[in-house]
Structure 1
């Protein structure tokens, strides 16, 4: 077993049960136990605390392999003297908060986010936040070497109800920030549809919103079911968003909210059924964050629209800092900017990962949705709604995303060479290269020449060149596509351009 293959950014992920693709199970009990021992070794080195007496909280999402993986972790942790705290079904963000609230030295969440039912994985937290990519590499290297604590001694295991504490914190926040006439029921009269996609987010309807007076009777897919029988629990999935939109319209609700499997991402739907996701979600989160940080800087990933930049900088009076794709990248960039003295209250990726400074820069879908609901309650007092807040946002007329496979064995070198060649080509064509480009190559075009932009970048993990194209004019993406094909047909050696030709 090559453990490094289980690395997925800042997570460990693999196949955890039999699957339709016939892929071999990589997260076996033996593998999980080796990773558990390696994590304890990492804790001894990085936290300066022997495995004996470590307090470690463990939670899981609703995947069918979760209980098995939890038992494998439990066996190892107890063997080496860990005081284990079993949080049961839990959201990923709550497992970071467990470190703060229980308290404990660190925590582990068993999840594979929005991936298919047969995949699973592990995320790790300390008081400093989620472990980063180098930490995961180190743990997997220890597992490969079979490293684990030297001393065995009996540990202990107890079940705790941390999700109730986490939900209470969200309820108290809503009470405090809405500060309604009926303080204990600030959401009285609001009709909200919650879609948990049969993941870990069902608690939000019954344990957060309903006790505060909200009508959640038309919520759907709240029951945990690790086979995800209704739709993929993913706010980026078209079927999932269509489902929550239809539910809101059908119920004549004021708002719909949807979570991914482990609730580190969320999105919303307004009373008309219009999605508040991607650029609209970034815009709304920015409006909320900049209320307490006027003139502040919003960090986003690289594929946000030109209209969003205008909204943040001209409508909201903030600053927009585009950075690399990957939620951990934008969070780390926001942390860096704040450390250097830049007022940065929010890091957010278009996928729905949103991390606010006021919440430890933790990407928490339930926290984001809570802030949206608080904002909705405030707007209603003024006779307004979310739609009016987002009205100034200029949205693209057309958009395309194409993924170009890199065929060369050294895919990173091939991909970077092609991006460099495209940059030289763009300069020769007098194309407008974005001055704030921090990933790949972003180029804008004026009216008559596509009236939009493209971004070509190298995928973080895969032999792929993702290409995003947006235009503010009908037919504009086709114009930009044809300009790019002119380049690729003469410079695209080592890359399969057929997806772009078909797009």
Structure 2
């Protein structure tokens, strides 16, 4: 069983197939869920040294169809293990972390049932303590513990308390926005002059329209897909997906809204669309929140993942900040921000292009709703000056050409094969005029190409979790992409166990 359980580990999360479907075999059943819940309690006792009588745990879920059944299994097992349990019902991933730090709750740990934006038949688990989300080694320990036979059930049972924690969490956001805007005209409803619509993608983010924006006076008519539906029938709940951004853009323009907000299923990511229909996600979203943070904390280091653009680096540096481009993976980015602070380098923002944004002021928690709240405060202040949020990023250079490719590695030792290709690429780059390997690169091979030889950059890296080489290319000229691709194709065709059929 241990090998099967460990296949459920997805970095710092648990991910599996929870509903029968034509695509994949079910591997996350009541049996696995019960064992993993027990493993989490053992981890808390062993690694966090929690030895008190009743351990306090909060459990929440997003809108997935399998969520209620999984939650019931977890609740029953926690009660049998003598835990005092908060059933938070429909909730968000960031809110579940907050159950571990808020005074009235102060849970020893929390469990969020979610698989982010993945198809309806997936589900998974995320674990938190007051120190943040579990790391990879923690998940391994939890899974190892899940199959041990010495899990002892106490003579007493725990109890379950049902709470509307999303209401508590919403009130925190409302008060943050009120205090941030600090309106002299209408402190209670500082967004009364704005029409703001939410697209929750039928995930857990619909609360933001009714429990946050409406309380602050905003008109929210035109908000869409805010009712939970674990089939995700309208579009994939993913701020990176074209269909999601097209959907909120259309809604903003049709409803003549001042702002559109789109969340992923568990609300740890977000993106926006301005009144003119301009999509603000990926590099432009990073630029926007960076400009806000650098105004508050001049000179701050901004940590991002590896696929951010050269234009973003220039934008951050022109604002007096330092761009620290790190590895892909939101936990990698967040942990790097924390590490830099521990070493004395001030970093107030760690953000991945996927929309995971973690602010130092908010526990370095990747929280889509908090990110949006921060932007709303700035939007209201700019409005008083006759400005808008797009004014903050008008100097951001956006490349006209940008492509992404994924090449399957067919060799059984895919990591060794991938690293061999990357090593060979370094030597190949030295032979190409106008190509130079980027300094201070932490992942894969990143190359800057001068105007005559591509006018941009590319990054080739090994996927975090799959036997895949990922290639990102950007160019500031329309012909540049072709120049870069032609040179790379001459190199990549030498590897028979790399599928580059998509590279056209």
The TM-score, its normalising length taken from structure 2, stands at 0.97
Distance change (3 Å), C-alpha of 1:120 and 1:147: farther
Distance in 1 separating the partners of 2:261 and 2:497: 43
Answering whether residue 66 of structure 2 is matched by residue 65 of structure 1, we say yes
1:10 paired residue number: 12
Deviation, structure 1 residue 153 = 2.5
- Aligned residues, how many? 498
2:127 paired residue number: 124
**Over residues 214-238 of structure 1, what are the superposed CA-to-partner deviations in whole Å (9 max), with x where a residue is unaligned?**
0001111110111111111110111
1:303 paired residue number: 307
Answering whether residue 281 of structure 2 is matched by residue 280 of structure 1, we say no
2:208 paired residue number: 204
Matches within 5 A, 1:91-490: 91-101=92-102, 102-146=105-149, 148-149=151-152, 151-180=154-183, 181-314=185-318, 316-430=319-433, 431-490=435-494
Distance in 1 separating the partners of 2:224 and 2:16: 29
1:55 paired residue number: 56
Distance in 2 separating the partners of 1:52 and 1:461: 39
Instruction: Answer whether contact 1:52 1:153 (CA < 8 A) is retained.
Output: no
Instruction: Answer whether contact 2:455 2:480 (CA < 8 A) is retained.
Output: yes
Instruction: Answer whether contact 1:200 1:262 (CA < 8 A) is retained.
Output: yes
What SS class does the counterpart of residue 457 from structure 1 fall into?
strand
Answering whether residue 79 of structure 2 is matched by residue 75 of structure 1, we say no
What SS class does the counterpart of residue 204 from structure 1 fall into?
helix
What SS class does the counterpart of residue 100 from structure 1 fall into?
coil
Distance in 2 separating the partners of 1:355 and 1:147: 38
**Over residues 384-428 of structure 1, what are the superposed CA-to-partner deviations in whole Å (9 max), with x where a residue is unaligned?**
112211110000110110001111111000000100100011123
Distance in 1 separating the partners of 2:151 and 2:405: 44
Deviation, structure 1 residue 334 = 0.3
Distance change (3 Å), C-alpha of 1:147 and 1:222: farther
Instruction: Answer whether contact 2:80 2:153 (CA < 8 A) is retained.
Output: no
Instruction: Answer whether contact 1:82 1:155 (CA < 8 A) is retained.
Output: yes
Deviation, structure 1 residue 498 = 1.5
**Over residues 30-82 of structure 1, what are the superposed CA-to-partner deviations in whole Å (9 max), with x where a residue is unaligned?**
11001111111111101212474000000000001000000110111011100
Deviation, structure 1 residue 450 = 1.1
Distance in 2 separating the partners of 1:12 and 1:152: 30
Which consecutive residues of structure 1, in runs of 5 or more, have no partner in the other structure? Answer: none
What SS class does the counterpart of residue 352 from structure 1 fall into?
coil
Distance in 1 separating the partners of 2:35 and 2:6: 13
**Over residues 121-142 of structure 1, what are the superposed CA-to-partner deviations in whole Å (9 max), with x where a residue is unaligned?**
0000001000011100111112
Deviation, structure 1 residue 91 = 0.5
What SS class does the counterpart of residue 235 from structure 1 fall into?
coil
Distance in 2 separating the partners of 1:19 and 1:356: 38
Distance change (3 Å), C-alpha of 1:320 and 1:34: same
Instruction: Answer whether contact 1:299 1:344 (CA < 8 A) is retained.
Output: yes
Considering only aligned residues, what root-mean-square deviation do their CA atoms show, in Å? 1.1
Instruction: Answer whether contact 1:51 1:82 (CA < 8 A) is retained.
Output: no
Deviation, structure 1 residue 150 = 5.1
Deviation, structure 1 residue 348 = 0.2
Which consecutive residues of structure 2, in runs of 5 or more, have no partner in the other structure? Answer: none
Distance in 2 separating the partners of 1:163 and 1:295: 35
Deviation, structure 1 residue 151 = 3.3
2:86 paired residue number: 85
What SS class does the counterpart of residue 410 from structure 2 fall into?
coil
Distance in 2 separating the partners of 1:489 and 1:182: 64
